[in-house]
Chains A and B, each alone.
Chain A
């Protein structure tokens, strides 16, 4: 009986996916867009910070690194709550009008995944920095050329950091729910419903088929991105 209930849910979900249900794909594309923008913003801000942390030795560097490492495990609901307080109309950033918008979710997710990009980028650079710097310097390069070559040699780790960050963003619930509000109006332009918030909502409503279908799409996206990352890594290793 218990298995039948799950099997029926999975069968219904497959029908929804294969029939190309427009609502399902609308939500999926919004999720990719919102988390893609978050990953892009985190890369633009986080990679330069990670590069500086990986290459330079300044006072307080280990403290900064510890702060970013500690932020890796921050619960998304706490982050969502903090962001809600800041972005609410009465909050310090209320005038930005980001609450209950796609950009608001992207902004929140960007803050969530920034430590991933910074820490992984810095670690990738540190893992090659010593030996590559010595080699490049002894071949006659200047300091700037040595830095560029070090970043070049760490590039696969840097790309991996952005992919890991995207996967974390698209799979989180707390920020999308509290900052986005899970708004959905058919044909509306201000919708903020994404995969995780809608899975939570459909489970709460007992519409298990739709929840499983959305979960399947979410897993497919995460696996596809991970497969792409593995492919890029292999390509990099083989040249």
Chain B
């Protein structure tokens, strides 16, 4: 589904991604863990083609992503750590992606209501999206991404700073997305969450992918000393 070869990305003097080689299979939940500044968000932005100015090669479903950024963006959608809401109602926020695809009328209404109900926010449909709590905003952001039925969801710390109830709802949504065959790339600093949700995990440090493996194996017997230090530090300190 996603193949990155030798991908590097700089922001001025800062090298946010260094020679990243990574393959993500269709239908898997792929976690990216690492400390703040490790390059997780930049990696998700490249996968979502919000960053197009990078070196190396990115192939999405057999097509060169850099030559077809709009095509990739129609199939890969990113949910940001700090959800941005349009200055309108929850319903219209969620409906936006459908409207720009030319979907209107009863089909639009049905699809939006279904996804709002799935995330437990149907009663907020007419509310001003900018006035919601952090957890509600994040659920709207996920609903907005879910409704467009993309192939890949790049979720950047989707439950950071949320209460337990919102975390439970969002994790259920991720599991449901996986059941529907969606590919999920999940950037998180929460190792427990990565263990709970993902099939495979990559550990990043200073813009590099240090190690990639089956989640269980990577957490129980990491091959790289840096991965082991990170996992032990986070889980047992």
Contact = CB atoms under 8 A, between A and B. Distances in A.
B157 to A, nearest CB: 15
B145 A236 contact: no
B168 interface: no
Contacts of A156: 87
Interface stretch (A5-13, A39-47, A138-146, A214-222): A138-146
Instruction: Tell me whether chain B's interface is mostly helix, strand or loop, or mixed.
Output: mixed
A138 B77 CA distance: 5
Interface in B57-95: 70, 73-74, 76-78, 80, 84, 86-89
Contact of A153 (B78, B87, B145, B150): B87
B48 A239 contact: no
Contact of B97 (A134, A139, A142, A239): A139
How large, as a class, is the contact surface on chain A? 10 to 19
A142 B73 CA distance: 9
Q: Is the interface of A mostly helix, strand, loop or mixed?
A: helix
Contacts of A236: 87
Contact of B100 (A132, A141, A153, A239): A141
Interface in A169-193: none
Nearest to A143: B70
A139 B144 contact: yes
Interface in A150-167: 153, 156
A135 interface: yes
A137 B50 CA distance: 7
Given A145-B100, A238-B128, A138 B89 contact: no
A237 B144 CA distance: 21
B84 A135 contact: yes
B88 A139 contact: no
A237 B130 CA distance: 8
Interface size class of chain B, counting residues whose CB lies under 8 Å from the partner chain: 20 to 34
A131 interface: yes
Contact of B73 (A131, A132, A138, A238): A138
B230 interface: no
B84 A140 contact: no
B66 to A, nearest CB: 15
A156 B88 CA distance: 13
A135 B101 contact: no
Nearest to B89: A239
Nearest to A140: B74
Nearest to A238: B128
B96 interface: yes
B84 A139 contact: no
A153 B101 CA distance: 20
Nearest to B144: A139
B80 A140 contact: no
Nearest to A132: B84
Contact of A138 (B48, B88, B101): B48
Contacts of B87: 153, 156, 236-237, 239
Contacts of B78: 134, 138
A165 to B, nearest CB: 22
B48 to A, nearest CB: 5
A222 B150 CA distance: 51
Nearest to B92: A239
A182 to B, nearest CB: 44
B12 to A, nearest CB: 15
Interface of B: 48, 50, 70, 73-74, 76-78, 80, 84, 86-89, 96-97, 100-101, 128, 130, 144-145, 148, 150
30 contacts: A131-B80, A131-B84, A132-B86, A134-B50, A134-B78, A135-B80, A135-B86, A136-B96, A137-B50, A138-B48, A138-B73, A138-B76, A138-B77, A139-B77, A139-B96, A139-B100, A139-B144, A139-B148, A140-B73, A140-B74, A140-B148, A141-B100, A142-B70, A149-B86, A149-B96, A236-B87, A237-B87, A237-B128, A237-B130, A239-B88
Q: Which 6 A-B pairs have the closest CB atoms?
A: A139-B97, A138-B78, A140-B74, A131-B84, A135-B84, A141-B100
Given A135-B84, A138-B48, A239-B87, 15 more contacts: A131-B80, A134-B50, A134-B80, A134-B84, A138-B78, A139-B97, A139-B100, A139-B148, A140-B101, A153-B87, A236-B87, A237-B128, A237-B130, A238-B128, A239-B88
Interface of A: 131-132, 134-142, 145, 149, 153, 156, 236-239
